[in-house]
């Protein structure tokens, strides 16, 4: 048995294509395109890649996208001032501040910055009010990664209602909103984490297993009920050869990537899970591109709410 691969890259292209005419209609009606402001503090290499992809996706669907770069030496006050200016700027319908902020800004800085984004422009869905509306099942906007997973499941015809979904990981950005979105679609939901006892047995109950924990290759075949759908949210950079061997095996095509570059991106799910699962998202090319497509959809929704027809 080999799992069907759930192609997030392909779906993200389709979602972008669906967004494009709506953006054109908005622009014609309002006289300006939906505007997205992206704040990047410092120059973390992974963040540079994410931000570049977000800028490109936004421009691709017809948004105005402006990148606000701030040096890594910036103060928290300056970041908050930037957010306040973008809140007040009518050209922007969505604001996102790329995570993580430099550690030098201190613990809690990131949440203070997220809190400062106007709720109507919070296209990442990280503010308390956005999160509360999500819990109450009346959110216009939900965090991109979990809503991308829902979109993928629905478009692939994978039933959710009445199924048992198990989410590994309880982050504010993925685990918790993922659990809530699955619950609102009538799944029985179990949330597991580092303190859970007998994680493989808990996960083997899952019809839908979502791994969002950030540990390379954690989910092995003994975690998976035969035929289950496995969603791999993890994006882990492996730089150690023994780790790359454990997670990929030397025969895996992506092990060649490691040999060429000295590092490779792998998910939380071990590739051998493909022999047990019914369907599986690859890393890369699974959930990642969907996160960005949903961010674009959120921005369009925020623009529509700010300029009702």
Could you list the residues that contact a copy of itself (CB under 8 A)?
A: 111, 127-136, 138, 161-162, 164, 170, 172, 176, 179-180, 183, 186-193, 195-197, 202
d(CA 92, CA 89): 6
Q: Which is nearer to a copy of itself, 28 or 195 (CB)?
A: 195
In whole angstroms, the minimum distance from the beta carbon of 217 to a copy of itself comes to: 22
Q: How far is the CB of 110 from a copy of itself (least distance, A)?
A: 11
Q: How far is the CB of 178 from a copy of itself (least distance, A)?
A: 12
**What φ, ψ does residue 36 adopt, rounded to 5°?**
-120, 125
Rounded CA separation 151/256 (Å)? 32
Q: Which of 54, 121, 176, 225 is catalytic?
A: 54
CA 68-69-71 angle, to 5 degrees, is: 145
Nearest CB to a copy of itself, comparing residues 134 and 302 = 134
Is 240 an annotated catalytic residue? Answer: no
Cis peptide before 215 (omega within 30 of 0): no
If the CB atoms of residues 46 and 135 are measured against a copy of itself, the closer one turns out to be: 135
Catalytic residue among 93, 124, 232, 268: 124
197 vs 242 by CB, closer to a copy of itself: 197
Pairing of the two strands 35-41 and 4-5: unpaired
Distance CA 123, CA 117 (A): 9
Residues in the chain: 309
What's the closest the beta carbon of residue 140 comes to a copy of itself, in angstroms? 12
The C-alpha atoms of residue 264 and residue 275 are separated, in whole angstroms, by 22
Cβ proximity to a copy of itself: between 139 and 277 the closer is 139
As measured in angstroms, the least distance from the Cβ of 161 to a copy of itself is 6
**Residue of 98, 121, 122, 207 marked active site:** 98
- Between 159 and 304, name the residue whose CB sits nearer to a copy of itself: 159
C-alpha distances (whole Å) from 255 to each of 49, 89, 245, 275 are 21, 47, 7, 18
Burial class (CB in 10 A: 0-12, 13-18, 19+), 90: exposed
Let me know if 195 is a catalytic residue: no
Burial status of residue 188 (CB atoms within 10 A of its CB: 0-12, 13-18, 19 or more): middle
Question: Catalytic residue at 176?
Answer: no
CB of 175 to a copy of itself, least distance (A): 9
Task: Indicate which residues carry an active-site annotation.
Answer: 54, 98, 124
């Amino acid at each position: 048995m080999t799992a069907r691969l759930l192609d997030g890259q392909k779906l993200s292209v389709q979602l972008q294509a669906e967004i494009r005419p709506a953006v054109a209609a908005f622009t014609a009606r309002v006289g300006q395109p939906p505007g997205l402001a992206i704040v990047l503090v410092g120059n973390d290499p992974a963040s540079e890649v994410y931000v570049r992809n977000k800028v490109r996706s936004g421009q691709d669907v017809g948004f105005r996208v402006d990148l606000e770069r701030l040096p890594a030496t910036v103060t928290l006050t300056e970041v908050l001032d930037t957010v306040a200016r973008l809140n007040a700027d009518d050209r922007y319908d969505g604001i996102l501040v790329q995570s993580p902020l430099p550690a030098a800004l201190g613990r809690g800085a990131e949440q203070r910055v997220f809190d400062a984004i106007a709720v109507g422009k919070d296209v990442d869905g990280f503010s308390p009010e956005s999160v509360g509306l999500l819990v109450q099942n009346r959110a216009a906007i939900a965090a991109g990664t979990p809503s991308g997973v829902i979109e993928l499941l629905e478009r692939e015809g994978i039933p959710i209602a009445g199924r048992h979904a198990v989410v590994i990981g309880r982050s504010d950005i993925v685990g918790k909103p993922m659990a809530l979105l699955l619950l609102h679609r009538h799944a029985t939901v179990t949330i597991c984490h580092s303190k859970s006892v007998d994680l493989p047995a808990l996960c083997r109950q899952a019809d839908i297993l979502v791994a969002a924990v950030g540990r390379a290759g954690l989910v092995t075949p003994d975690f998976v009920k035969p035929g289950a759908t496995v969603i791999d949210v993890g994006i882990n950079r492996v730089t150690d050869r023994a780790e790359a061997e454990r997670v990929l095996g030397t025969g895996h095509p992506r092990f060649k990537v490691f040999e060429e570059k000295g590092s490779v991106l792998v998910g939380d799910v071990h590739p051998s899970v493909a022999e047990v699962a019914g369907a599986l998202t690859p890393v890369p090319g699974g959930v990642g591109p969907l996160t960005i497509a949903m961010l674009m959809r959120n921005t369009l929704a925020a623009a529509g709410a700010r300029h009702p027809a």
